[in-house]
Every structure is written in C-alpha cells, then in structure tokens.
Structure 1
C-alpha cells in the first residue's frame, strides 16, 4: 500500500491513486445494482412489461431463472470500471489543470467543477460505450443478444463493424455528461455547505466523520443526477435496442421520440432515483475511503 508521505498532490502517483479509486468506486457499485438496472432498462423499452421492480424480478426468475436477474453483469463490470477510471482520475486532473491555468477562478469554483467533470466524462464515455451497447442489448432482447460480453463484442463487430459499438455514443454523452457535471459540482457544493454548518472545521474532523459527509452529499447529488439524466437514459436504451443499422442518428431520435412522447422520457424514473442515489452515495463513500486509506484528503 502506498504511504501518505510518498504521495504528493497532483503528482503522477496522485492521479494513479485517484484513477484506481475510480475503478473501485464505479465497477463494483454498478455491478451490484445490475438487477435494478435490468428491470429499469426493460421498462424503458416497454413500460407495460412489469408492474413494479418486485414484479419484474419475480417474472424474470419464473421465466428465465434466478441467474438471469444479473443479465449484463460482465459488460457492466468492465464498462463502468473503465468509465470510473476516466471519470474520477480525469476529474482530478482537469480540475487542477483548469484551476491552475493562469485564469482567475476565484469565486467561480463551480465553473471549474463543471468544466472538469464534463471533460473527464467525455473521455470516459468513449471507453464505456462499447460495453454499454452490449449491456443494453443483453438486457432488452429476448432471448438475450449474447451469452457474455465477449461474444457480444464479437457479434456486434461481425454484423456492424466498429461503428456498432458507438451508435449510442451521442445519446450516452447527452446522458452522462450532464449527469456527471451535476454529480461532481453538486457534490462539491453540498459537502462544502454541510461543512460550513458544522460546529467544527473539516480539518478537525476524523476520517470517518469526513467520509460520512461524503456519503450524505453523494446521495443528495445522486437524486439530482437521476432526474436530470433520465430522458437521455431512456433514449440510450431505446437507441441501442431499436436503431436500424442504416438509420441516421437524427432520424432514429425523431422516430423514437414520436413513438414514446415526452412522458415516455420519464419511464423508469423512480427506479433510477433509487438506483442512482444509492450508486452515487456508495461511489463517493468508496472513493473517499480509498483516498484516506492511501493518505490523501477526502474530496470537497
């Protein structure tokens, strides 16, 4: 394990630690909520499929078997581990880069958080997109599109070439970039507001107390993220499930929107609030716990 006296802020070791922390915070948490994600994605494609989450799981277990509630687990674990590396490591890098660029950012910290998180997520989604495409196809086709992520990658490439991996990249950016901008900027501001209202300074608090603040701030930020990103999340699911190989992005978006309407953009929102709120809180909990473990300060 790295020692605190060997890790300097904004050194290569610092960014490596943040990147590893991002992998640990995103890969396992997204994988753990695969059963929720499965029902959410299927309801986004067909809102009449299940009456509730519980009904969805019961139906899946009855018709497909218990193991099928984790459909898409492999693609989720790989894709979101890669995304977490780019998201968290990239955020720390770009936050420092933008705040030390020579342009005065005093009083404009939120703008730095927004710019850094947007840049990091743009890059992270390029790594995530192929695995997100496989995950959605596995979860929303009956029978499942493929047995595992590697078969899925091979199948997509044979039928559509490398473009098949990225036909959902624009909706993914529209979903993930606003989500991450809200996730990081709201988290930073929420935890600062919490610390400002506590009777003692952050530096006087124990690591456990600071991590508890991160957990609460993460959950509140996650609720905001879920609401803001749900329309794009629905479109990503529909795009990967229904877009025709020869169809342009604009035409596919227009056709899908005409089919589902404005109300359809909010399919699966209650499930997404529970899922994203839980995900975000535990991601910050794991990320900041890891940072403390290797001798770095908590975020915020």
Structure 2
C-alpha cells in the first residue's frame, strides 16, 4: 500500500516485471570488419607498448651489431658503454619510429593473422584445417606479415639511421623528412628485402610456436580453454609467448643483423640490394651474423610474451572473442 499521492495509482496493481541482465549480457558480439578492427587495435597496442618499452635493449643490440669492435663485452656492458659515452637519454634513441612503426605493424600483423587464418579455414573446411593447423598458422602469419612490413619498413629504416648515427636528426619527424628529401622512397625501402627475410620467418615461428605451445599448456591444466579464469589465460599467454619469442629470435637473427647493416649506409653507385647482402654476409661470417644474440633473446622473449599477454587481455576487454580456434580438443 502506497500512502504518497504520487504513487497512489499503483495501489492494487501487479508489480512491474523488469528483466535483469549482467552489464554485458545481451550485447551482440562483434563480427566482420568490427571484429577484425578490434583484433587490429589489440595487436597495435600490444606491439607499440612492448617494442617501445624495449627501445633501450634494441639500442644496445643494434650497437653490438653495427660496431662489434667497440661493443664486444655483452649486453650489460653495452648499456654501460652507451650511458658513459652519450648519456642515459641515448638509450631512448629511435623511440618515436619504434612505437609508431610497430603500432602499424602490430595492427596489420595480429588483425591480418586472424583474418587470413579464417579465410584459409573457410576455404579448406574446418576439419581439414584442424588436421593441418600447423600449415594454416604458418601461411596465415606469412601473408599477414608481408603487408605489415610494407607499413613498418620506412619507420624501421628511420629508427636504425637514428640509432646508428646519433647526429642524423633530432627524432622521428626530422629523420623521416631527411631520408625522404635526400634519398626518396628508395631510402625507406632499401631494407625491404632484408626486413621480409627477417620478419616473415620470425612471425611464422612466433605464431606457429605460440599456438602449439598454448595448446599444450592449456592441455596441462586439464580444462577446456573457455573454462579457464582470465588470470590463468594471461599466464598461459605469457608462457607461450616466451617460448615462441625465443624460437623466433634465433630463426630471424641473421636477417636482423643484415637489416641493421644495410640501413646504416647508402648503397654505392650500381650496387644492388642482393649484392650488398652477399657482401655484408661474407664480411661478417656466421659468428658476426649472430652478433647481439643474447640481447635479442632477452628482448624478443620478453616482448613476445608481453605482446601475447596484452593481446589476449585487450581482445577480451574489447569483446573480440570471435576468432576461430584450431587447437585440438581431447
């Protein structure tokens, strides 16, 4: 019984019924372009944050590759040498192009991987794709990385020039503008061959090893993936990322060294990219091609774990849970 005149009209009426839903319950899951845009955003943030955070390690790794006669006492000593010679600020050289380049690359790599994986599955059929899931992972990641590298290459060229020549320019915009003015498009893409040679095997190993490692790690829990807590999934993503990062770092190390070398200086008149690569390779030898391996193991293992950890968490936060899983369920 309501005594207030305001609610007197409700006396004797049946109570109103209101549906009660969880905050996100009933919301339509994203599909199509909306879904892949969310995958892309998650990948972009994950790659920009992790690569940006690892800029100091990348500076030291690049110095070891380009000046082994000076930086030849390991990663920790390399940090001390750079700080003693140029100050601690030098460890952030190239941060701008690194963050910008890997934001674009991460969007195209992770979003592209999810897109091409689904496209291949749709063409093969789910059962066939699941039986051959290793090949699906490799092909989807290779295609995605090719397009991602088109976006990354100009910014990676700028980063390497800034790191190898501290007086070249005062940052991303200055370095980018100087290369554009003095060398044109060719200056940005002189390292496109090496970057493909580096990034495509790296990304193929990264995604394929991660998918397999995650499948095995989930299997060890004794529960289906969709029954695991967010915290457990994040931990498994980090663990799978470390394993994938170490494998990818080793496979792509020679090409990473060649990329650093070829972007350090301009080509001589009449010199082709292929001839430059062959010349640099012969001068360095096997040992030289794997210079900076310790720093790169640390760098790639850490950032790959971070990328997959962030990617999974951001996807979940964005509601982008519509990707197709090929992991075998026992």
TM category, shorter: over 0.9
What is the TM-score normalised by the length of structure 2? 0.86
Q: Quote the residue 2:42 is aligned against.
A: 21
Q: Secondary structure at the match of 1:6?
A: coil
Alignment match, 1:160: 183
What's the C-alpha RMSD, in Å, of the aligned pairs? 1.7
Indicate yes or no: 2:202 matched with 1:179.
yes
| 2:105 equivalent in structure 1 | 83
Range moving further from structure 2, 203-212 or 129-138: 203-212
2:279 and 2:124 mapped to 1: Cα distance?
46
Kept after mapping to 2: 8 A contact 1:129/1:172: yes
1:272 matched to 2:296? The reply is yes
Q: Are 1:43 and 1:268, in contact at CA under 8 Å, matched by a contact in 2?
A: yes
Deviation beyond 6 Å, 4+ runs, structure 1 = none
2:9 is aligned to none
Alignment of 1:1-300 (within 5 A): 5-8=27-30, 10-50=31-71, 51-102=73-124, 104-141=128-165, 143-246=166-269, 247-297=271-321
TM-superposed CA distance for 1:59, in Å, is 2.2
Contact 1:27 1:80 in 2 (8 A): yes
- How far does residue 102 in structure 1 lie from its aligned partner after superposition? 4.2
Measured in 1, the distance between the counterparts of 2:210 and 2:300 equals 14
Report the more deviating stretch, 180-189 or 39-48.
39-48
TM-score of the pair, normalised by structure 1: 0.94
Query: Is 256-265 or 54-63 further displaced after alignment?
Result: 54-63
Distance 1:244-1:3 versus aligned 2 partners, 3 A rule = farther
1:148-179 CA distance string (max 9 Å, x none): 11111111111111111000000000000000
Render the CA deviation track for 1:48-78: whole Å, top value 9, x for unaligned: 2222222222222222122111001001011
Structure-1 separation of matches of 2:24 and 2:318: 6
Distance 1:199 1:106, change over 3 A: closer
Q: Structure 1 unaligned runs (5+)?
A: none
Higher radius of gyration, 1 or 2: 2
Equivalent residue of 1:105, what SS? helix
Unaligned 5+ runs, structure 2 = 1-22
CA distance in 2, matches of 1:147, 1:237: 20
Q: Does the Cα contact within 8 Å between 1:44 and 1:234 map onto a contact in 2?
A: yes
Alpha-carbon distance in 2 for matches of 1:264, 1:115: 30
Q: Distance in 1 between matches of 2:238 and 2:49?
A: 16
Quick check: 1:31–1:73 contact (8 Å CA) kept in 2?
yes
Alpha-carbon distance in 2 for matches of 1:102, 1:273: 36
Give distance in 2, aligned partners of 1:193 and 1:83. Answer: 28
